[in-house]
A and B are shown apart, each in its own frame.
Chain A
């Protein structure tokens, strides 16, 4: 019985870690529910078919994870692009109207509520621009991380007794580590709490730390 719960607990912990590859909004909303569902699946699988059941469950869950992660990241990217388009339209409308609503407030509103609305619009516009910048920076860094992963694979290949496939897996793990550390909001928040002044500093510190790890491990091993 103790062994059952240990295997299930370890599986649940591994799954909870794998969930980190989902986009942060999706993870925050459904991560706990997904872990709960996985726990029930794992308990059932172990009770019915023991280790064979667990192996089948992991095969099913890994295939599901790969396909749904790709879908969610594409949907997230689509939503970002939609926001970009909206921000551009918003900016163009503002330019074309010459900020008419700033000079000619609606007569039905008093001047206070009108200026509040302008402020809200301004903040929304700025927020969108920041998100666009974040998206482009993210895409740029993700591409860079993939490149670093390829380089890491080459470094791994210099370790004696390591096959080509193992080196590639090392490179892939390095890429995933970099992407997760960059995109993971809770990791950035942790760094922010530790005294890093800005969100982009936190992301950069995480990414640089991961790059250092990627190069230190194979170098020490060699």
Chain B
């Protein structure tokens, strides 16, 4: 869902975004990706986009693009707030230091 937060993407775009944002630690395969897409479509969190972004490649134009629904965006926001609150608790208990060089360096 985070991969679709800023723009609509096709399957391979989502896969690349997940790999980039996780610094290569999470690599989705086509089966896992479309299994997740199927479940999120059924839950109404994402939807297929009718628009096709302008692209040089024919494959990009033919691929199915996905975007977050209003409900999906709300749930993504709520989940992000919940996780941010957890991180703040962990920081207050000195389990993590968000200003530590290792964390800053990875961003």
Contacts and interface: CB of A to CB of B under 8 A. Distances in A.
Given A26-B38, A40-B12, A41-B12, A34 B30 contact: yes
Contacts of B38: 26, 29-30
Chain A interface residue number, banded: 20 to 34
Where chain A touches its partner, the secondary structure class is helix
Interface in B15-46: 15, 27-35, 37-38
Nearest to B64: A33
Contact of B34 (A33, A61, A67): A33
B35 A37 contact: no
Contacts of A34: 11, 30-31, 34
Chain B interface residue number, banded: 10 to 19
Interface in B59-86: 59, 62-64
Interface string B47-67: 000000000000100111000
B32 A61 contact: no
Contacts of A177: none
Interface stretch (A68-76, A90-98, A122-130, A151-159): A68-76
Contact of A60 (B27, B34, B64): B27
Of B15, B34, B38, B64, the most chain A CB neighbours within 10 A belong to B34
Contact of B12 (A30, A37, A63, A69): A37
A34 B27 CA distance: 15
B59 A65 contact: no
Of B30, B38, B63, the most chain A CB neighbours within 10 A belong to B30
Nearest to A69: B31
B31 A64 contact: yes
B59 A40 contact: yes
B83 to A, nearest CB: 25
Interface of A: 22, 26, 29-30, 33-34, 36-41, 60-61, 63-65, 67-69, 71-72
Given A29-B38, A34-B31, 7 more contacts: A26-B34, A30-B34, A36-B62, A38-B30, A40-B12, A41-B30, A65-B31
